[in-house]
Amino acid sequence: MEVIIIGIAKSAIRLATPYLYASIGETIGQLSGVLNLGVDGVMLMGAFSAFYTVLETGNLILGLLVAIVVGAIFGLLIAFINVTLKAEQGISGIGVYIFGLGLSSLCRGCSFFQSKKSFYKSKV
């Protein structure tokens, strides 16, 4: 029984690490007075772009760099919406989250399932 509990605790720590990093970044951002609720959308787009880059090129460093660039682009998008357009930070953050969720799902569908016919005919 003790082995199972230790295994669950190890898995929980391993799987929660990306959210820990995002929450640390969000905490630092909130100390400056910025509320960014779009962190999950930024994470989704960064993860998809890194995965797809590594899948196509096989280069892990390039995947990491692409994820950093995509995160920076989304950060600039959030800054543009909040500062230039003077939108409410909470609402725009939720919008960026939904945008990142939808765009990553769309990119996944377009990248791996070119058409429904080829998907259903494949023997995967």
Q: What is the pLDDT of residues 29-67, one digit of tens each?
A: 889 888 889 999 999 999 999 999 999 999 999 999 999
68-74: list long-range contacts, CB under 8 Å, 24+ apart: 70/42, 70/45, 70/46, 71/42, 71/45, 71/46, 74/38, 74/41, 74/42, 74/45, 74/46, 74/100
Residue 28 and residue 54 in one domain: no
Which one has a higher pLDDT value, 115 or 12?
12
Residue 46 and residue 60 in one domain: yes
Residue 85 and residue 45 in one domain: yes
Domain count, the chain: 2
Residue 55 and residue 72 in one domain: yes
Contacts of 111 (CB under 8 A, 6+ apart): 52
pLDDT of residue 39: 92
Within 10 angstroms of residue 41's Cβ, the number of other Cβ atoms is: 25
pTM for the model stands at 0.79
- Domain containing 78 equals 34-114
Containing 45, the helix (H) or strand (E) segment is: helix 39-57
**Is 3 domain-assigned?**
yes
pLDDT of residue 118: 52
**Is 119 domain-assigned?**
no
